[in-house]
Amino acid sequence: MRTSGTHASTERTEPYDALVIGGGIIGLVTAWRAAQRGLRTALADPAPGGGAAMVAAGMLGSVGEFQYGEHALLDLNLASAARYPEFVAEVEEAGGQEVGYRDCGTLMVALDADDRAHLRDLHERHRRFGLEVEWLTGRECRRLEPMLAPGVRGGMRIDGDHQVDPRRLTAALLRACERAGVVIHRALAERLTVTGDRATGAELADGTRVSAGQTVLAAGSLSARLAGVPPDVLPPVRPVKGQVLRLTVPAPYRPFLSRVIRAVVRGTDVYLVPRVDGELVIGATSEERGWDTTVTASGVYELLRDAHELIPGITELPLVETCAGLRPGSPDNGPFLGPTALPGLQMATGHFRNGVLLTPITGDVMAEALTGGELPPAARAFTPHRLDGAARTSFNAPQEQPA
């Protein structure tokens, strides 16, 4: 591994083929895949391996997260989910560690008559879209998952929505990058460098000027804040807060749950993700609160209240962590992938609720875009060009700075 971070001011690097701005899960997979394709690759991030994936539960919910009207996103999500087993094997080999992939499926349940009617409707529509879902009675749900509340009224079994441990996956990707020769600059990218009509790299907070043939903006919720990017090119990405709880299931009580459990309780999503090692993640709030990452009493209370209605036994378990992160939200909930209107600048950001799920396909798509200059067909609906200038410019009006 080559690492940088103690440079004298204005040190200039030799030009790289690719510079990735942002070392979260999406930046790491992009840098790793680029280096695997033979590109001399650098990545800039003050704390690589951090970001939203440190908070995410790791549900791979292509079907469970499907919203009507988001058909292109569904196709992208399903394609990425299908890539997961092979991707995991490759990352585990390259990163030298397991990433906690579990092909356990998901059960979405309803607690009252209204929830049941909603879920029934969802089930019918999912079936019409050819998605693999099966309706179960409350009794059948409890036979699958005995810890469910006796009052569960029915559910939808989704055998293709699995899970992975995002913290382990990110750590393995960081190691894979290092082993593939990605040069990691442990400093914030402060400004995109533009020479003539091309992006040519970035200036980092430690004074380093990194030159690159292609620069990829992959800074998650911070992607709209990079100085030097023309306003009509900046991605309209905003932070959407999610609070999450981590409990642990003591060994004698395992398996407490054998699959991911999801529900809508009084109109709010709640999910429980049980890992093989006993961790049980409960998530997540969805809050439009700018850059705030405070864990609040109300956030913790509501998650525990809703999860307890589903699985009463959770209140017996040790609560080991509360945390909050920022999803990179986009106006249509889809990511921005590939070349922008500024030559030399590409994007891999705006993954919103699907960053972990979309990690495999984002790596593939970005490697293709960086080596061939074009987006592969699977990702064309997610070109950064898809939003018109007015939508972009009004979104990118000055906002409050992150703390």
Question: Which residue number is nearest to ligand GLY in terms of Cβ?
Answer: 353
Residue 298 amino acid letter: S
**Helix, coil or strand: residue 350:** coil
283 touches ligand GLY by CB under 6 A: yes
CB of residue 282 to ligand GLY, shortest distance in Å: 11
Gap between the Cα atoms of 349 and 292, Å rounded: 20
Beta bridge partners of 106: 158, 260
Helix axes 25-36, 166-179, angle to 10 degrees: 30
The count of residues interacting with ligand GLY (CB under 6 A) is 7
Using an 8 Å Cβ cutoff, are 262 and 111 in contact? no
241 touches ligand GLY by CB under 6 A: no
Using an 8 Å Cβ cutoff, are 136 and 154 in contact? yes
Gap between the Cα atoms of 126 and 135, Å rounded: 11
Q: Considering the complex, state which of residue 226 and residue 270 has its C-beta at the smaller distance from ligand GLY.
A: 270
327 touches ligand GLY by CB under 6 A: yes
Q: Considering the complex, state which of residue 48 and residue 283 has its C-beta at the smaller distance from ligand GLY.
A: 283
CB of residue 45 to ligand GLY, shortest distance in Å: 21
259 touches ligand GLY by CB under 6 A: no
246 touches ligand GLY by CB under 6 A: no
Residue 393 amino acid letter: T
Using an 8 Å Cβ cutoff, are 206 and 187 in contact? yes
353 touches ligand GLY by CB under 6 A: yes
- With CA atoms as reference, report the closest residue to 306 among 337, 272, 258: 272
Gap between the Cα atoms of 348 and 182, Å rounded: 17
81 touches ligand GLY by CB under 6 A: no
59 touches ligand GLY by CB under 6 A: yes
Q: Considering the complex, state which of residue 314 and residue 357 has its C-beta at the smaller distance from ligand GLY.
A: 357
284 touches ligand GLY by CB under 6 A: yes
Residue of the chain from 242, 328, 344, 360 that contacts ligand GLY (CB under 6 A): 242
Strands 279-283 and 238-248 come out as antiparallel
Beta bridge partners of 278: none
102 touches ligand GLY by CB under 6 A: no
Q: Considering the complex, state which of residue 65 and residue 306 has its C-beta at the smaller distance from ligand GLY.
A: 65
CB of residue 159 to ligand GLY, shortest distance in Å: 18
**Residues at the interface with ligand GLY (CB under 6 A):** 59, 65, 242, 283-284, 327, 353
